Structure 1
Amino acid sequence: MSRAPLTALTTALLLALSAPAWAQSHAGHAATPTTTKAPPVDHSRMDHSKMGHDSSDHGAMDHSKMDHRSTDHSQMDHAAMGHGAPKPPAPSEPLEPIPAVTAADRAAAFPPIDHGAMEHAPQVHSMLLVNRLEQWDGRHGNGQAWEASGWVGGNIHRLWLRSEGERSGGSTESADLEALYGRSVSPWWDVLVGVKQDFRPADSRTWAALGIQGLAPYKFETSATAYVGEGGQVAASVEVEYELLLTNRLILQPLLEASFSARDEPEYGNGAGLNKVEAGLRLRYEFSRRFAPYIGISHERLFGDTADYHLAAGERARDTRWVAGMRIWF
């Protein structure tokens, strides 16, 4: 036999023997591996303290593939897991019940009052307030002015004295004095009745007075008085003041005062209707409640026939004044 046919026969035999092994190897690589189901895990018998949870990467764990159906939650110790034991219900009754109030307790707390032993003699008090004592300087001259009031009596019944006036050029242009009986009709208001006497350089008049004074809402000090004079003349005056506390001692006091007459009196320089309006603003500093100097400004204006009468006499119908003075009470 020749050498060439022998070599070909040997090569064919080797290929035939190695084909099954090569096919089995490639078939094994191509085949998809099958997944076997793990047996259920009993978490109640696991020692979690030895599992090293501090170093475990829980974020990388696939919890969706964990079989929680086989976990026995009835054997888990929830108290040891930090949930705590359930709190007992709150008691419906106090631990020490409050005893009921008896008639003897009420009698001991509110003994009968002996009104006879509480009677005291009526106390008499008094006060004098000089609300304005000032020097003024206006466009057409300078002078002095004052306004004062005082009372003596008790909390209900009082005798009131009021006075105001003005001087200019060394002579008294106007001055009056009122003596009034006042009775308190509420904690904030008094009703006044009495007489008023006008003092003038040439003549004087007496008036019957009826009015009211007190503290209006929002702490406006208000005084309104009607007068009936000789010859049937009727007049009235209204004054409103307010105290605005900038500090405990620095106080700004606006003032508005108006006077009226029922009929013309050329001899007195008064016309019917609104006669005069005065508006002022004073800033005072209370060194004490009894003594307070102030500065301010005041504007006066005459209206109607009253202004005409004064213009005819060579006087002005309006004037603005700078004032400086003091407020005192005793």
Structure 2
Amino acid sequence: MKYRAFTCAAALLIAGCAQAPGGSTDWKVEPDPDIVNFPLENAESVDQELVAPPFLPAHEQVASGPPRIVNVRLEIIERETEIAPGVFVWQMAFNNSVPGPVPVVFQWDWVNLTLVNGTTDTVRFQEPVQNTLLHNIDFHASTGALGGGELTKVAPGQEVGLLWRAEKAGFFVYHCAPGGTMVPYHVVTGGNGAILVLPREGLRDGYGNPVRYDRAFYFGEQDYYVPMNDDGTSLRFDNYASQMGPTLQVMRGLVPTHIAFNGQYGALTGDIRLEAEVGETILMLHSQANNPSYPHLIGGHGDWVWPYGKFNNRPDEGLESWDVVAGGTAAAVYTFKQDGVYAYLNHNLIKAF
């Protein structure tokens, strides 16, 4: 079966006005020692209510105070989903979503995570739930302990806590990584998402000028390796664990059977397309936890693109397409100048149509 992916069409209509080059030639901002050394015991604790992609939780774009402790809750659910007509996959879904939701914090904040391996009595998002396998989480944004993976292994019906500090600014992948072949199996069945760590001073363009966005959208690209019947339908399984062996056999060929944005075909097109107003600036966030990707906005550009989604790197200006490395991200802004429909896709076009 050939590669398949549906494009994301976004009616993002914008009349932009260009900002004159300016700002400091010394682009790097040195960290404030008072912020870096701010004591944990003095930090305010706040709860963040996560939302399903492609949207992000309400957040400030510039830090208004000292580092905080941001409390987030991720609930892991094993669920069967029809990702394409007649094609069913048991997914590992953070908060009942593929990809998982995007926590938003500032650099030098602390992330206080509660991770739940769901059963019907412990999750809020779907019933009945009866997970079958061990799960955990590896934050690419964190330091040490395998990104937290070594500290967060959790059995069905249990929960675990993890406190870590966001020392680097950028858009970072997180994913399940319980060990051995379960690592790629969990990732390619949806067990991944991303976290946004904003610079405390906010985003800046290549001249050092502030960049502000009106909306932010998250495109999580997912490759699937589905055991298929000869008639183009998928094999069906009783649960997430029983699907694993046949899926691993397909994975060893390294060729995805299906590729989709945000979990399933057509998730961001048609009646559920993304919309914005003419004159708005949109932050486009993209992750791919397993394969490279090459985002492109048909009819638009990346006005500013942060290499590999990392905000302490000077952004590139006016790109037509940009890179996402395997297990990595991209971040770009574009101010839309005309009304109409714009298609966001992976410009490896064999995978896009």
Q: What TM-score range do you get, normalising by the shorter chain?
A: under 0.3
More strand by share: 1
For CA contacts below 8 A with separation 6 or more, give which structure has more relative contact order.
2
- TM-score between both structures, scaled by the size of structure 2: 0.26
- TM-score between both structures, scaled by the size of structure 1: 0.27
